[in-house]
Structure 1
């Protein structure tokens, strides 16, 4: 397969670029002689070229024919050695010449731009020849002066710098305008050689530094999947000797990287992985970095792997632009490529077609558990079997992410057990909140990460550390689209009627045992719709809907992300669907709980079509209904008014939980649980009277208690009835309601 691959990247040991620089020295020696003859000083005032222009020098310049090169014939001669000799002794120059079809003139231009990177003495020479010591980098005008011998040749040589010429079209050379000039001509543009090409010509090995944040270079071992051996056989039969192009299609958490590793190992080449999550957000910047990655793969003779095509196309407003850029790069690439993604994909440009789609099945719970065991064993530690089963069941991570998560968990465990370091609280959340009582009706199953778990060796990761490291692997995808909510509340903070609390426990059970019921028991084959879980929390403001979502996320050990509707809903036709697709696409790879707060603004009732706007609004709702069914995670929607939601939408929900206005008994429990254990309280606090006299929701009661705490701190006393009544009055003012009389027994603030 070597004939399919580009030449390997040159190394310093083969041939340093001294021969090429000797050619430049010969050329510059002629130029210095010509410059000395042209600008010979006639007086002491003319002895400072580049700093002073005398009248006699100006007259001599006017005597020269317009456009005459510095090395005009017959004085100019071809510098030695020639490019045939240089290319024969240096693989970097030979690769540059053959890969891009550069002429001798274009190679000389590249050499001029390269020289200051090898020796700073060329900066002083360029300043002298350009009659300006501050211009230390070569200008286009200098290149034309040195490399053309006639006026006609000088004009024709301008084509070397045209946008469609190889040097600029392939981004080998960048033309930078003189920053001191206003709209400078082409001749006043500096020539800057791309750093990647500079490293090649100077014999520098290793990955380009600009790719360090989004690319990974490795040498894969022999193929692990026997089925992927067919990829190598397919590559040997590619029509016209074309390098293999493979699309590895599989869901998040599958072994999508397997075909790329096995194909690279079978071809005996390195593997260059482009992590699309590390690409810049701007389309132009992302395109530039991706072009560098393609060229780096060509230089290294490596297989190029794009790890997530959905991540590259995440922004819908830039999707077509990015797709066209990728298609053009694929069409011009001369090496093997593997693209990975979850959905169907084909490049836009027909010239780049020919991808072989390889389906990749997702890892099951048993396979993920084995991967966790293997990666932890490689670090010399073992975790409790129940902990491994729980983290493998809850997070659909692939081999790479499991390896990274295992390293993180082991490092956190080592930090926890190192003498002299503070031991972090052992909870399921990274917020440091104390462990809460278990949920109502909990059966004590080992899958719930609420209680601390410290089985195994002292330095083995706990369940909480395993869950935290797994969550961190995928939360970056939703960072720009949603807000992560710190889950600080537990079941003990939630005061609800028994049936409502039981429904929330059933939501947790539905998610916790989803893999067992759907996969192991085969119920997935009996369903025509998605396997995700969707729940609607409805009730007046402040009754605990958002808190319940936090409790569920914490119970499951998952991140809770709140979707910002201001970034989703758009007045433009079709934009709401695109924005929501971005959210669900990113969420599919995060194993997070999605929270759509005030969902009636997004999932409202479909209306009678009276105008074009109504028709498009109904299309949006229909799309949202279908997309919710395809989402495999847990989506929680909250609304203050259930009747505002479309009936067809509510029929597709697995759970609808009513959060009622709390009664007197529940209000008393809320008053009590709102006080932290360390908060100073007046023993005379009458919670029963507060619950009876003030009909407030749980959210309002929490606001009152917090406000009263600040009032007590200002008064220098414990939290008592006077502060609570004053804070209650402020809360009723916020609600635009009249505060009921508190009576003289409530602290004198009636």
Structure 2
């Protein structure tokens, strides 16, 4: 291939040399034998149109810049005939050499330009006239000599009409290729006539004519090159989509294809792979970067021009499309050239596209097969692949990256644990503005609940762990459209252990736990709450994270009667929540201390409801025993007597912390007196009465109990 390019470049250079020689011959002929006395044009003539002036002026379809058809004129007519005293032999010899240099396939770059932009011979020669000024620093002096003024050393339409015998007025039209495609720049200050205005070839066009093909800098500044992706690197379901896109792109020009779906990464990789299958590079343009106003028209013109010079696929990224950019997206798509991918999450009304392709992440079975492919012959690779694919929703590129990262991890960590940790990190959702990741502490394993509630938590963990076996191996996935995830409601008074139970499940399953910030999710603006919830669920599914909706009654409350627009949109938000909860493939936990306030339709769709009762004396004693880390010095603490105080686990934890600070300040171990003082503070905080008789009765006997 390199040798072929070198040969073509040699032929292109030879053509440019011949074209410049021919142009010099025309210039010498126009200047005449006396170089010091430039010859002026002797007259002008409009091309005959085959009808008289009156008829032409009154005919409704008359176009001043219409090119004469073959039937209208037997031969080209000079608009500004050249001077007498030309050297026909020299011009003819140069023209013959130029014709010889024009032969070959592919043709020279200037002839490619003429073909791609449908230039007439005259327009092509105007382009050569401008190009010559860039290639030969001596030619502008000849231009000045022909135009009769040292100050007119730039090419112009008048100069072209003087030199070339196939001139026509329509080359000056803004609708003709030279001006429409901005192949040339016109410097027309003040009242300068268009015919004598200085012309200059566009830098991008000049470089193309020289054999240098690169993306226009004005376009490149807005675009981001996308890494090439081979179709074989994608999931089978995505390769089917690529075949559809390839057929459409070869049959339709331009091909405008909407890629619709919640997974941005899959859409990008699909677009890059489809472009690679068609032999095209792919560039990304963010929707918010689309120019506005008059700049948009300029961008569109340059983009369409670029699609003829250096064909490429454009990936218009409107995944998070702001409302202010919707109209610009419609305008850009309507005037698209070449292959255009429009990346949308949910589609866009009024968009003129040729096809819509719905793109989802690789299916669970495809991910499982790719895990097995990447793990190779490792021990228990099938079981590991099943476990990883059931918890994480990763594309093929992420799966390969996880395996590479795990292979490079610490050797003292078991391989399966390295794979799990890398998967958690790779799929960790970016929910910093909508959720808080809870750092799970080992102390969550000390949770104290009745046996029935602990058994329910064991069932929840087992269902999350065994999803691959039940859904995929046993075939339940084929029978279910929704409800593949696990949803649980934790109901109970504040401080009874709901948050700690969620932490315990995250610790047992080795998954991230995210507490949803309701103040950030719920918005007063119509549609924003649904958008925020969509981002939360989509992000959590990718990384297998556990979602923890604290005080869920504020978000999942009962739907109300519609009395105004506010009620209507509030009900829409609840309906959307119900749908997403059913479709969510992970573990979602909702905590509330007002179970009766939840929407009954929502409660029916929950798989588990765990009630957190107020702890009795036995549970309180165990909570007190686990309240202090081993390093805390205790003296004379009687947990049996402390358990008589009517407190929740949250209250007990708060009392233990306060008592520890009191002991640290006093320089003593934690004693019963300090604990009882901390109890008084906690009860006053809760606006509960402090019965000193009860405190005297439960005062501890001196002696270290630990």
With the shorter chain as reference, the TM-score category is: 0.5 to 0.7
2:226 to 188, 206, 216: 216
Q: Is the 8 A contact 2:257 2:356 kept in 1?
A: yes
Does residue 506 (structure 1) correspond to residue 509 (structure 2)? The answer is: no
The corresponding residue for 1:496 is 449
TM-superposition CA deviations, 1:75-120 (whole Å, max 9, x none): 6313379999xxxxxxxxxxxxx999664996777xxxxxxxxxxx
Give the TM-score normalised by structure 1. 0.60
Q: Is the 8 A contact 1:270 1:302 kept in 2?
A: yes
514-523 vs 494-503, which moves further: 514-523
The corresponding residue for 1:720 is 671
Q: 1:399/1:363 Cα in 2 relative to 1: closer, same or farther (>3 Å)?
A: same
The corresponding residue for 1:671 is 624
The corresponding residue for 1:78 is 153
Q: 1:322/1:589 Cα in 2 relative to 1: closer, same or farther (>3 Å)?
A: farther
Q: Is the 8 A contact 2:487 2:606 kept in 1?
A: yes
What is the total number of aligned residue pairs between the two structures?
A: 544
Partner of 1:661, secondary structure, is coil
Q: 1:251/1:505 Cα in 2 relative to 1: closer, same or farther (>3 Å)?
A: farther
CA distance in 2, matches of 1:685, 1:633: 44
Alignment RMSD, CA only?
Answer: 5.3
The corresponding residue for 1:732 is 683
1:234 to 234, 243, 247: 247
| Cα deviation, residue 559, structure 1 | 2.1
CA distance in 1, matches of 2:431, 2:182: 46
Q: Is the 8 A contact 2:515 2:548 kept in 1?
A: yes
Partner of 1:218, secondary structure, is coil
1:33-52 aligned at under 5 Å gives the runs none
Q: Is the 8 A contact 2:231 2:242 kept in 1?
A: no
The corresponding residue for 1:269 is 280
The corresponding residue for 1:658 is 611
Q: 1:294/1:591 Cα in 2 relative to 1: closer, same or farther (>3 Å)?
A: farther
Partner of 2:488, secondary structure, is strand
The corresponding residue for 1:532 is 485
TM-superposition CA deviations, 1:137-192 (whole Å, max 9, x none): xxxxxxx9xx34544569x99xx9xxxxxx9xxxx99xxxxxxxxxxxxxxxxxxx
Does residue 348 (structure 1) correspond to residue 350 (structure 2)? The answer is: yes
TM-superposition CA deviations, 1:554-608 (whole Å, max 9, x none): 3223222222211233445555444434433444444322221111111222334
1:407 to 404, 408, 412: 404
TM-superposition CA deviations, 1:507-549 (whole Å, max 9, x none): 1222222333233333345446532322111100011111212
CA distance in 2, matches of 1:99, 1:376: 60
Q: Is the 8 A contact 2:552 2:591 kept in 1?
A: yes
Partner of 2:226, secondary structure, is strand
Does residue 699 (structure 1) correspond to residue 654 (structure 2)? The answer is: no
Give the TM-score normalised by structure 2. 0.63
Q: Is the 8 A contact 1:369 1:388 kept in 2?
A: yes
Q: Is the 8 A contact 1:671 1:701 kept in 2?
A: yes
Q: Is the 8 A contact 2:578 2:602 kept in 1?
A: yes
CA distance in 2, matches of 1:583, 1:360: 17
| Cα deviation, residue 669, structure 1 | 1.3
1:568-579 aligned at under 5 Å gives the runs 568-572=521-525, 575-579=528-532
| Cα deviation, residue 204, structure 1 | 10
TM-superposition CA deviations, 1:638-662 (whole Å, max 9, x none): 1111111122221121111101111
Q: Is the 8 A contact 1:232 1:267 kept in 2?
A: no
Q: Is the 8 A contact 2:658 2:678 kept in 1?
A: yes
Q: Is the 8 A contact 1:254 1:397 kept in 2?
A: no
Q: Which has the larger radius of gyration?
A: 2
CA distance in 1, matches of 2:590, 2:306: 46
CA distance in 2, matches of 1:673, 1:683: 16
Partner of 2:610, secondary structure, is strand
Q: Is the 8 A contact 1:482 1:562 kept in 2?
A: yes
Partner of 1:508, secondary structure, is helix
CA distance in 1, matches of 2:243, 2:398: 26
CA distance in 1, matches of 2:636, 2:290: 65
Partner of 1:738, secondary structure, is coil
CA distance in 2, matches of 1:347, 1:542: 49
Q: 1:295/1:527 Cα in 2 relative to 1: closer, same or farther (>3 Å)?
A: same
The corresponding residue for 2:632 is 680
Does residue 563 (structure 1) correspond to residue 498 (structure 2)? The answer is: no
CA distance in 1, matches of 2:288, 2:264: 30
Q: 1:558/1:322 Cα in 2 relative to 1: closer, same or farther (>3 Å)?
A: farther
CA distance in 2, matches of 1:201, 1:216: 19
CA distance in 2, matches of 1:546, 1:294: 55
The corresponding residue for 2:474 is 521
Q: Is the 8 A contact 2:429 2:539 kept in 1?
A: no
Q: 1:626/1:262 Cα in 2 relative to 1: closer, same or farther (>3 Å)?
A: closer
1:327 to 323, 330, 333: 330
